[in-house]
């Protein structure tokens, strides 16, 4: 460890000198650009990383960022995989991306493989923790496949606590809005 630290600081000091010289050269000897980099560096190093807090609705934010439209089965798989990934990442003290990258989680959710090998086929390269837990993931995907299949719009409404409006209700409302005597 001591040798590692010595080597690391040896090269870091050299890199620092090179970057400092390049910043001064680029800015024609004026320290403004160098000072700006130092300030940004200081501000960044003062920020404390806070691991995101997991809630029952956290998966929806990620789904919105990915701009994906899922049916109820796919959305259930995404929710279950998201919770599994977060739990395992905290347990193993690893990043969620190491446990199961988002793009692989989306692919599994979209394809809903029927077999454990299908889950592995969705991932290239296969994350080591996924390979170890593929049977548990398969059970989650099976659980999602058992959900009633609804369109994405209706699934999104149900997730927001809304109930879909039936066409007959719309017709009744429009009939009630017609002024009396105009029929």
Residues 35, 38, 40, 46: what is their CA dihedral angle, to the nearest 10 degrees?
Answer: -140
Pair 156, 137: CB distance under 8 Å = no
Q: What is the pTM of this model?
A: 0.59
Domain that holds residue 65: 58-159
Domain count within the chain? 2
Give me the pLDDT at residue 106, please.
93
Query: What's the length of the chain?
Result: 183
Residues 39 and 75 in one domain: no
Q: Are residues 69 and 151 in the same domain?
A: yes
Are 35 and 103 within one domain? no
For residue 103, give the CATH number of its domain. Answer: 1.10.150.80
Are 35 and 69 within one domain?
Answer: no
CA proximity to 100, closest of 73, 131, 79, 121: 131
Residue 53 in domain: no
Give yes or no: residues 86 and 108 share one domain: yes
Looking at the fold, whether 111 and 82 belong to one and the same domain comes out as yes
The tens digit of pLDDT for each residue in 49-73 reads 777 777 778 888 878 888 888 899 9
Q: What is d(CA 182, CA 51) in angstroms, rounded to the nearest whole number? A: 63
CA distance 132 to 128: 6
Q: Say yes or no: 82 and 148 in one domain.
A: yes
The pLDDT tens digits of the residues spanning 70-127 come to 899 999 999 999 999 999 999 999 999 999 999 999 999 999 999 999 999 999 999 9
CA distance 130 to 47: 32
Looking at residue 148, what DSSP letter applies? P
86 and 148 co-located in one domain = yes
Q: Is residue 179 in some structural domain?
A: no
**Token pair of 106 as six digits:** 């989306």
Burial class (CB in 10 A: 0-12, 13-18, 19+), 20: middle
Q: Which of 103, 104, 98, 102 is nearest to 119 (CA)?
A: 104
Q: What's the rounded mean pLDDT across residues 153-178?
A: 39
């Amino acid at each position: 460890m001591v040798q590692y630290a010595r080597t690391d600081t040896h090269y870091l000091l050299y890199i620092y000198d090179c970057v400092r010289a390049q910043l001064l050269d680029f800015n024609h000897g004026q320290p403004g650009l160098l000072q700006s980099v130092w300030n940004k560096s200081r501000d960044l190093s003062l920020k404390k990383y806070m691991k995101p807090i997991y809630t029952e609705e956290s998966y929806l934010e990620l789904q919105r960022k990915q701009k994906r439209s899922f049916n109820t089965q796919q959305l259930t798989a995404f929710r279950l995989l998201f919770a599994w990934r977060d739990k395992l990442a905290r347990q193993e003290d690893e990043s969620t991306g190491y446990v199961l990258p988002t793009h692989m989680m989306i692919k599994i959710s979209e394809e809903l493989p029927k077999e454990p090998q299908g889950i592995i086929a969705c991932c290239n390269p296969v994350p080591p923790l996924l390979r170890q837990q593929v049977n548990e993931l398969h059970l989650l995907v099976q659980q999602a496949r058992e959900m009633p299949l609804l369109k994405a719009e209706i699934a999104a409404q149900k997730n927001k606590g809304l109930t879909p409006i039936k066409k007959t209700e719309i017709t009744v409302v429009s009939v009630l809005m017609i002024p009396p005597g105009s029929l």
